[in-house]
Structure 1
């Protein structure tokens, strides 16, 4: 079975809003064996909505729409779909009462326009929204189910969970089986060359192989059927056992979570001394709930003066070697570890760009060091010319460098 996802809203098309809804919906559909044939973002006009739904009806079992269900005049999805499916809007008293209670609970006035949220298509199946005022609407035409939800992400997720349960109860779904690994420290083309024989064996056995790169990281996904589970698991295990230096974890793992688990397991504390990343490494670490159990804090020493006065880096070393150098990041890590009183201290100094590069230290040059009580390691990385990407890549590289050190792989 397959589905088409349609996200409605000019805010997506003009770049004001990132469409995270489609990604979430596609992932959830895929997990229950429904293939996504297409993801489409459209402007919220009647003509575009009708044209898009019409086209999707031809070869999809499900059409999933988000957006355009608010109470204001620019939210037209409900009216357009009601007309399209030859239905009429009627008042649902129970839903009206719930919406009124919703406003009372937040101590907000209930306006006449809010009553429109309880006007819903008579023949559709209405899915109540426990987290907001716009209900989900489920229409059926021929073999196709069309489900319309609000575009607010947390409301959409609650409604979509209810939709998934309805689908599971009514349809015999596919038997897809996926396994995904998260890797770091290797690019897509290098990995593909390294595992080309493994990939050929996978494909020869009817298993799809996909490389999904992001900044500093790469996901490797195998897709087959439930009957191929044993083979897929064996192929995944081969990569895990053969290339542990690159494998961070499974699909749901994140580097910052893996680092946190390693620190908790070993009862160690971490601190960071940052220059070119300006606190981005600290932000990534503290994005994990409970990180206060192992993360002490950071010093952002962007200038020469702060490197000297706050961290304790020798001024002569900075002047002789330059801030972006092995000698300086080693001192940043070692003296930062003592300042912060931690077991591991990561330091970063680099040329993020777009200016500041030299012939021997071009834009994208980043030095990362990690100090422990017994050892200090340092490594030079060469990224690109985009400042934002360089900062992100530095954060990923630093966390992965710590992972390798903590797992005795460097």
Structure 2
């Protein structure tokens, strides 16, 4: 079954807000067995909305729309859908009752909010348990259009609890089978070349998707149809054998979560000493729930005097080798390990850019030192020219480097 996602709102087109709804809906639809053919963002314009529906319905079975359902004058979706489907708005007491239940006692039911109880006559109304704008479901010549609020938490609630179950019951789509592998040590092109024979010999219907990120590769093996579970298991086994130690996880998981799980399982603690990454590694690690069980602290020693005063880096090392050097990275890591009293540490020192480089140490030069008890590994990375990318790559490489030590 083919589906399309249409988000409505001038605020999306002018960049005032980011459309996170489409990506979330697409992910959920795919897992539910639907093929997302396209995603569109359009403005608050009645003619454009009607023309888009008419055009997209020629290619898909399901249209999911978000946005334009509020109480203000620019929220025109409901009236426009009435025009498109040849119906009128009628007052729905059940919707009004739901609105009153959603509103707190401290909030008065004004006229604009009350008017949200007007719904298209010829549709299925689905109550919004977490908001005031109702969801409308239209059956149209064997196809379906669902109009939902654009507020993300409202849309997500109704998608998971109402829309997806109803769509699956109506269409009974084939299951989407996938296996995710998180890999280290490969660029997208290098990985594609290495597994070219495997990919060329995949059974009909199987596919691979290469999803590169800064410092890591994500590979997705997929096929549709629950009857192909045995084939999926066979291809997965071949791929695991082929990729070996390059696989750091066999599910869709971030490197900071993988590292956190390993540290917790082994009863280890960690701290960071960061210069060029500016605390980003600490931020990534502590973004994981439960990180307080293994993360103890960080020293962001951007200035050389803080490297000396806090981390006990030798002034002699700075004078002789410079801040971006093997010696300083080691001393930063050992200093963090000592003052934070941790089992493991990650230290970074480098030139993130876009300026500050030299012929000897160009932009993107980063030294990373990781420690695990009395062991120490230090490596030099030559990353790139762009600051944000360099910070993310250095952060990821630091965590991967430590993972290799403790695994």
TM-score (norm 1): 0.95
What residue is the counterpart of 2:157 in the other structure?
158
Report what 2:143 is aligned to: 144
Indicate conservation of the 8 Å contact 2:46/2:76, yes or no.
yes
**SS, match of residue 331 in structure 1:** helix
For residues 163 and 358 of structure 1, do their structure 2 counterparts lie closer, same or farther at Cα, with a shift above 3 Å needed? same
- 1:11-410 map, 5 Å: 11-105=11-105, 107-161=106-160, 162-202=162-202, 204-225=203-224, 226-407=226-407
Contact in 1 for aligned 2:69/2:75 (Cα 8 Å): yes
Q: Distance in 1 between matches of 2:50 and 2:77?
A: 10
Instruction: State the shift of 1:228 in Å.
Output: 3.0
Separation (CA, whole Å) in 1 of partners of 2:240 and 2:374? 29
Secondary structure of 2:339's counterpart equals helix
Shift of 1:295: 0.7
1:74-96 deviations in Å (ceiling 9; x for gaps): 11111111221112112222221
Q: CA–CA distance in 1 between the matches of 2:83 and 2:301?
A: 61
Measured in 1, the distance between the counterparts of 2:297 and 2:7 equals 41
Cα pair 1:181 1:236 within 8 Å, conserved: no
State the Cα distance separating 1:344 from its structure 2 match. Answer: 0.4
CA distance in 2, matches of 1:222, 1:120: 43
CA distance in 2, matches of 1:89, 1:172: 32
CA distance in 1: counterparts of 2:132 and 2:353, whole angstroms: 46
SS in 2 for 1:320: helix
CA distance in 2, matches of 1:330, 1:145: 61
Return 144-153 or 109-118, whichever deviates more. Answer: 109-118
CA distance in structure 2 between the partners assigned to 1:319 and 1:130 by the alignment: 65
Instruction: Extract unaligned runs of 5+ from structure 2.
Output: none
**Displaced runs of 4+ in structure 1, greater than 4 A?**
none
Ranges in structure 1 where 5+ consecutive residues have no aligned partner: none
1:274–1:349 Cα contact (<8 Å) kept: yes
Offset at residue 205 of structure 1 (A): 4.3
Q: CA deviation at 1:244?
A: 4.1
The answer to whether the 8 A contact 1:179-1:233 is kept is: no
Tell me if the contact between 1:277 and 1:395 (Cα under 8 Å) persists in the aligned partners.
yes
CA contact (8 A) 2:2 2:34 kept: yes
Alignment-derived partner of residue 5 in structure 1? 5
Mapped partners of 1:344, 1:243: distance in 2: 28
Q: Distance in 1 between matches of 2:38 and 2:152?
A: 20
Deviation at 1:31, TM superposition (A): 1.1
Instruction: Report which stretch shifted further, 174-183 or 382-391.
Output: 174-183
Give distance in 2, aligned partners of 1:245 and 1:394: 21
Please, which moves more after superposition, 352-361 or 89-98? 89-98
The structure-2 alpha-carbon separation of the partners of 1:14 and 1:246, relative to structure 1 and needing over 3 Å to count, comes to farther
| 1:246–1:18 Cα change, 3 Å | farther
Question: RMSD of aligned C-alpha atoms?
Answer: 1.6
**Can you list the C-alpha shifts for 1:329-380, whole angstroms capped at 9, x where unaligned?**
1110011101101000001111111111111221111111111222110111
CA distance in 2, matches of 1:175, 1:318: 59
Aligned pair in 2 of structure 1 residues 103, 34: CA closer, same or farther (>3 Å)? Answer: same
Flag the 1:227–1:259 CA change in 2: closer, same or farther, 3 A.
Answer: same
Q: Hey, what's the Cα distance between the residues in 2 that align with 1:276 and 1:235?
A: 41
Quote the Cα distance in structure 2 between the aligned partners of 1:68 and 1:250.
Answer: 40
Checking the alignment, whether the CA contact within 8 Å between 2:269 and 2:344 is kept in structure 1 is yes
1:160-184 residue CA offsets vs partner (Å, 9 max, x unmatched) = 1110111122222124322221223
Q: Is the 8 A contact 2:102 2:129 kept in 1?
A: no
Residue 44 of structure 2 aligns to a residue whose secondary structure is coil
